[in-house]
Structure 1
Amino acid sequence: MNWTAKLIKRGGESRIAIYFEKNQDWIDRIKQQEGSRWSQTLGVWHLPDTFENRMLFQIVETPIKLPSTEGIAQIEKFKCWLLSRRYSDSTITTYTEALKTFLTFYNDKTVAEINNDDVIRYNNEYILNNNLSASYQNQIVNAVKLFFSTIRETKIEIEKIHRPKREKTLPNVLSKEEVKLILNAHSNLKHKTMLSLIYSCGLRCGELLALQPVHIDSKRNLVLLKSAKGKKDRITPLSPKILEMLRDYYKVFKPTTYLFEGQIPGSPYDSRSLQLVLKQALKKVGIQKPVTLHWLRHSFATHLLESGTDLRYIQELLGHNSSRTTEIYTHVSTKSIRQIKSPFDDL
C-alpha cells in the first residue's frame, strides 16, 4: 500500500497528515492510533506530531523538539494543580498542551530563567511566524500566566504579560428560513432531534452531548444543564414541539445513560459525528456557507433578540458571565437596521 506523510497545521497545532488510496484496512489502522482525527476540509486523516509518529511514518526532514526534563516535570505538576482545582478536562488539555508548546520553544532554558522578553520573542518567532491565530495566542497567554502564578521563584512579571488585541468579529447567524431547511433536512429522527434541540435551546455541542434523560423536565418544560461551561448549572425553556419530538425519539431509541448515545450503549454521541450530521444536512439543502453547530446557537440568540426578548434573559439562557458577551448579538440583529431607509431610495 503506497502512502505519504507530511506535517500540517490544524488549529494552531502541528499534525502529521497521512495520504493513501481509500482502503478500509488502513482506515481501521489509522483509527487505532491515539489522537487520530479525520479532516473533512482536507479530506485526510491526521495524527499528533510526536517522535513516535514521525519515526513510524518516516518523517525525518526536521528534528522534533521536546520540552526539557524539567519542562516535562513542570507540565505534569501544572496538570496536577489544575486537577486539584477541578478545572474541566477540556481546559486541562488546552492549558497543558499550550504550556508544552511554550516550554518546548525554551527547552534550552530553565523555567526560573524565562522572563517577559521571552514571552514576546515566543509570540514573534513562533506564533506570528507560523501565522497562528490571535485566539491561539490568547490560550498561550492564559496558560503561561496561570502556570507562572503557581511558581514562587521566577523572573516573569505576570501582570505585564500582554494579550493580543481582540479581533472584532461578529457571530455568524442564519436566517430562520435557513435554520428550518437545516432542521428538516434529515429524515433520521435522532439526527433531526439533536440539531433541533441545539437551536431551540441555544446549546453548545458539549452541553447537548452531556444531557441525560433525567435532565429533561417535561412537567415544567425545562432542560437542566449540569456543570455546563464554567462548571455552572443553568436551565433553559423546552419548546412543546421539541418535547413531542423527544418523546418520539425516546420511544424509538430508549437511551440509558445519555440522552443521545453513540454506537456503544451508555456512551455519549461523538461530537465529530454530530458535525458530520450537520454537514450532511447542509449538503442536502444546498447551503454553501461553512456552517458549524455553534452557528445554530448564535442564530437562537439573534432570533430571540429580534423577537423582542430582553438581552438580560438571553444572557441567562446562553450562560454568559458578562452582559458584554451577549451584547455582540445586537450588532448582527437586523430588526432595526432593516427599518432604516437608504438615501439612495430618495435619489
Structure 2
Amino acid sequence: MIRVVLSFFVHRGKRQIKLEFPPGAAVRNYICQFPDLRFSQTHACYYLPYSKAIFNELYAYLRKRRYYVDYQQIKDVSPIPLFRKVSKRQAKMLQLEGRMALMFGDYQAYLNGLRLSKNTVEVYSNFIVDFLIFLGDKSLDRINNDVVQRFVERLVSNKDYSISTHRQLISAIKHFAERFTLSEIEVTTLKRPSQQKRLPVVLSQVEVIDLLRCTANLKHRMALALLYSAGLRISELIGLEVADVDLERRQILIRRGKGRKDRYTILAESLVPMLRNYMLTYGPRKYLIEGAGGGKYAAGSVRAFLKRSCRRAGILKRVTPHTLRHSYATHLIESGVGLRHVQELLGHSKPETTMIYTHIAKKDLLQIRSPLDEAVLQFLEPQNNPSNNSLSERFNR
C-alpha cells in the first residue's frame, strides 16, 4: 500500500500542508492533479495552503486510490495556531529543528543570564534565528568569521539595515560566539561599522506649546507634557506609576530606567494643575497613564496620537516621543543648566552621550553674527555708503 505522509510546515508566513510520498511517476502524476498543489524549491516538497476544507478534500482524494494517509503529525499539533496567520518571527522559529532549536534556546538562556533587557534579548534573538537558518546543518567547528561575513552581507543587503541595526547584529553574533565557544568565530576581529553622528531633531519651545494646545484629549496631553517636561523615554512614561509622582517635592521617580538605574527627575510646576485635573478625571490606580483594563498604555498608541497632534499643530518635522526628550535636554542647556545636571536628569551613564546636545543648543550660537550681516551693516552705514541703498537695490542695478 502506498503511504502518503501529511505534516505541517511554515512557508511565506503561513501554515502549509506538506506531502511526502514514495517515488514513482504514477503516484506523482495522480497527486499533482490535485487543485492548487504547489512545489517549494526552498523546502524541496509539494505543499498546499492549510484549511480544514482543503485537508478534508485532500484526504478523500488520496483515499480514492486507496493510499494510506498518515496525518498523525497534523493531529499532534495544537489546533489553535492553525487557523490564524503566524508572525514572521514565529514562522522563522518554526523552521528551526533539532540541534538548531536547542542552540537557540541555549542562546536565549545565555542572554537572560547576562540580565540584558527584555528588548535587547528580543532584538538579538531575532538576528540569531536568521543566523541559525542561514547555517543550516553546519557544525559549530565550521562556523568562522568568513561564514559570519557572508551572512552579514546578505542580511544587510537584503533588508537595507541602518548602521545602528547593523551594529546590533554584530553584537548579537558576538554573544553567540561567547556562548558557543566551539565555533571558530574570532570575536575580537568582528568589525562593526562606525556609529553615525546624526544630530537629533529638536522642537522649539513654541512648537512644544503648539503641540500641547492641539492635543484635545486630556490623557494624551498629559502623556506628551510628561515626555517633554521630565525628559522621559517612552518606556519610562508607560511604566510610570501613580506612587512615583511626588507632588510635595515636585519630583518624579523613574524606576529601572535604561541600564536598570533609578533616578529622580523634575515635575514641572506648570504641570501640577493639569495633573490634578487628570487624576480627578481618570482616577488611575497603578499606572499614571493607564491603558485598557488598568494595564500599561501601549507605546504604539502614544506614537499614533503624537503624530495626529503634530499634524494639527502644523509641525512638519519628523517627531517621535524621543524627540520631546531631545527637546527637553536641548532647552535645559540653552537655559544655562550645567551638563552634569542634565546628564543626571536624563539618566545617561556617560557624559559623552549628553554632550551631543551641546552641538544643537542655540545659547552660544545666537551670539555669533553671520559675516553677511556684518557686511550689510557696514554697507548701510551712512559714512560708508552715502546713498544708503538697500542690498536688494544694489543687486538690481
Asked which structure has the greater CA Rg, the reply is 2
Structure 2, unaligned runs of 5 or more: 1-11, 14-82, 376-397
1:254 is the counterpart of 2:294? no
Shift of 1:49: 6.1
1:338 is the counterpart of 2:378? no
Contact 1:205 1:293 (8 Å CA) reproduced:
yes
Match of 1:143 in 2: 172
1-side partners of 2:141 and 2:358: how far apart?
Answer: 46
One-letter amino acid matched to 1:281: S
Cα 1:147–1:317 change in 2 (3 A) is same
1-side partners of 2:149 and 2:176: how far apart?
Answer: 17
**Secondary structure in 2 matching 1:264:** helix
**Secondary structure in 2 matching 1:149:** helix
1:195-206 equivalence runs, <5 A: 195-206=224-235
One-letter amino acid matched to 2:101: I
Contact 2:89 2:126 (8 Å CA) reproduced:
no
Question: TM-score, structure 1 length as denominator?
Answer: 0.80
Cα 1:80–1:128 change in 2 (3 A) is same
1-side partners of 2:84 and 2:197: how far apart?
Answer: 38
**Secondary structure in 2 matching 1:219:** coil
**Secondary structure in 2 matching 1:224:** strand
Shift of 1:200: 0.3
Q: 2:258 aligns with which of 210, 213, 229?
A: 229
Q: 1:48 aligns with which of 61, 75, 88?
A: 88
Match of 1:162 in 2: 191
Shift of 1:50: 5.3
Show CA shifts across 1:325-346 (max 9, x none): 1111111112222221111123
Match of 2:322 in 1: 294
1-side partners of 2:337 and 2:217: how far apart?
Answer: 32
Contact 2:201 2:318 (8 Å CA) reproduced:
no
One-letter amino acid matched to 2:356: I
Point out 4+ residue stretches in structure 1 off by more than 3 angstroms: 32-35, 49-52, 64-69
1:50-89 equivalence runs, <5 A: 51=91, 66-67=95-96, 69-89=98-118
Paired-residue identity, %: 37
1-side partners of 2:169 and 2:141: how far apart?
Answer: 18
**Secondary structure in 1 matching 2:293:** coil
**Secondary structure in 1 matching 2:188:** helix
Show CA shifts across 1:300-341 (max 9, x none): 000001000111111111111111111111111122222211
Show CA shifts across 1:134-190 (max 9, x none): 111111111111121122322111111111121121111111111111112112111
Q: 2:215 aligns with which of 169, 186, 190?
A: 186
Structure 1, unaligned runs of 5 or more: 1-5, 8-31, 36-46, 53-63
Q: CA RMSD in A?
A: 2.2
1:278 is the counterpart of 2:318? no
**Secondary structure in 1 matching 2:249:** coil
Count of residue correspondences: 295
1:318-337 equivalence runs, <5 A: 318-337=346-365
